[in-house]
Amino acid sequence: MKKITILLLSGLLASNSQVFANNLNLDLTEIGVSGLSSGGFMANQFHIAHSDWVTKAGIIAAGPYYCAQNSIKTALSQCVNKSTDATSQNLPLQAETYEKQQKIAKLDNLKSSKVWLLRGTKDTKIAIEVTQALHQQYLQWIDSDNVRYLNEKPFAHHFPTLASGSQCDVSESPFIGNCHYDAAGKMLEFLYTDLQPRNPQPSGKVVSFNQQSLGGDPATTLADNGFVYVPKSCAAGETCQLHISFHGCQQNYQTVGNQFIEHNGLNNWADNNQIVVLYPQTKNSTFMPLNPQGCWDWWGYTSSEYATQNAPQIEAVKKMAESLNQKLDI
C-alpha cells in the first residue's frame, strides 16, 4: 500500500509533535457518520448504502434518501428551500429496488441503527417539509425510540456550536453558528453510549492525508487532501471508534480552510471518548463536473448510482476509512 504523506495543521498541534507510536487501532466493526446540508445528504446515502457497517447517523438540514432522483432540477425544486412531495413519491421504493439489485446493504440492518436529525426554525435554505420527509422515511425502517428529530431551535442553516462561528440566526461562511448549543455533543450523546464529558480544548492532532492515494480512482472528484482528527489515546494505540464527518457546500477546506474541522465541536468530544474523526473533502470545480460550491454528490453529478455502494464518492470514502489502520508516518 502506498505510503501516506502526513502534514501537520497549525492550531491544534503542539510544538513538540508526538509521532504515532503505533498503528491506529480502529475498531471498524461498526462506525458513525454525520453531515450538514449536502454533507447531511451524503451521510444519509452512506448510511443507507452501508447499513451493515454504519450504525449511527447524525444529519443536520438535509432531506430523504434519493430525494433528487438523479436530477439537479428535482434537487432544486423539491429537496432544498422549496416544499417537497417526496413523502408521496414513496422514495423508499428506490431503496428497495437497490436492495434487490444488491447495490445497497439489506434495509433490515437499519433496525439496529440510531439516527439524530436537526433543522433550525430560521433555516431558509432547507424547507421544513424536506427534513420532515427524511424523518418519516427513517421511521419506516427504524423504531421511533432510535430516531430523534429536533426542529424547534432558532438556528439558521449552519452547524450550531457553543461559542464558534457567526450569529445563530445568520447563515454565512463558514456555516458554523454561535448558538450556545453544542450540536456535536447532543448528537454524539444520542448516537453513542456512556460518553465522557467534552474536552474544552482538543489536545489531539489534525493530520492530512492524500485522498487520491487512499481513495483510488473513485476519488477523482474529491480534493487531493483529506483530514483526520486523532486523539492522543488513539495515537498511542488504544482501541478507538471511527466517525466520518461530511462538510456542507462551501464548507470544504478549499473554501474555508480548517474552520469547520477545528470548530464544529466534534473533536472536543472525540478526545475523551476514543473516537477518531475522518473529515473527507470535496473540491470545487466549474467544468466536468459542475460543482463550484464543493458540494457532496446527492443529485448525480458523479454517477447515476450516486446513492449506492457503487457511487464513486461513497466508494472512495469507504476505502479511506478502511485504510486508516495502516501505520501513519509523520
Tell whether 280 is covered by a domain: yes
Tell whether 35 is covered by a domain: yes
Task: Confirm if 249 and 292 have CB atoms less than 8 A apart.
Answer: no
> Can you give the pLDDT at residue 85?
63
- Of the chain, the end-to-end C-alpha distance in Å amounts to 17
Angle at CA of residue 229, ends 227 and 233, nearest 5°: 150
Tell whether 230 is covered by a domain: yes
Kindly give the pairing relationship between strand 166-167 and strand 205-210.
unpaired
φ, ψ of residue 12 in degrees (nearest 5): -75, -10
Q: Comparing C-alpha atoms, which of 146, 113, 112, 152 is closest to residue 132?
A: 152
φ, ψ of residue 95 in degrees (nearest 5): -65, -40
Kindly give the pairing relationship between strand 176-178 and strand 166-167.
parallel
Tell whether 17 is covered by a domain: yes
Check if 123 is active-site. Answer: yes
Tell whether 2 is covered by a domain: no
> Can you give the pLDDT at residue 72?
94
- The domain in which residue 197 lies consists of 7-323
> Can you give the pLDDT at residue 84?
60
State the cell numbers at 6.
502526513
Domain count for the chain, please give it: 1
Q: Comparing C-alpha atoms, which of 58, 6, 65 is closest to residue 32?
A: 58
Catalytic-labelled residue, pool 34, 37, 38, 51:
37
Catalytic-labelled residue, pool 34, 50, 113, 123:
123
Q: Note every long-range contact of 9-12, with CB atoms under 8 Å and residues 24 or more positions apart, other chains counting.
A: 9/206, 9/207, 9/208, 9/227, 9/258, 9/261, 11/206, 11/258, 11/262, 12/202, 12/204, 12/205, 12/206, 12/229, 12/262, 12/267
Give one DSSP letter per residue of 314-325, joined into a string: HHHHHHHHHHTT
Catalytic-labelled residue, pool 47, 50, 135, 157:
157
Using DSSP's 3-state secondary structure scheme, residue 149 falls into: strand
Query: For residues 309 and 45, what is the distance between their CA atoms, to the nearest angstrom?
Result: 9
> Can you give the pLDDT at residue 7?
37
Q: Comparing C-alpha atoms, which of 218, 171, 137, 161 is closest to residue 37?
A: 171
Query: For residues 328 and 317, what is the distance between their CA atoms, to the nearest angstrom?
Result: 18
Check if 285 is active-site. Answer: no
Collect the ranges in the chain with pLDDT lower than 50: 1-21, 87-88, 329-330
Chain-centroid distance, C-alpha 324:
17
Tell whether 1 is covered by a domain: no
> Can you give the pLDDT at residue 22?
55
Tell whether 328 is covered by a domain: no
Using DSSP's 3-state secondary structure scheme, residue 244 falls into: strand
Q: Comparing C-alpha atoms, which of 214, 322, 295 is closest to residue 42?
A: 295
Characterise 110 by phi-psi region: left (phi > 0), alpha (psi -120 to 50), beta (else): alpha
In this prediction the pTM is: 0.92
Check if 77 is active-site. Answer: no
> Can you give the pLDDT at residue 319?
97
**H or E element: which one contains 60?**
strand 54-60
Tell whether 256 is covered by a domain: yes
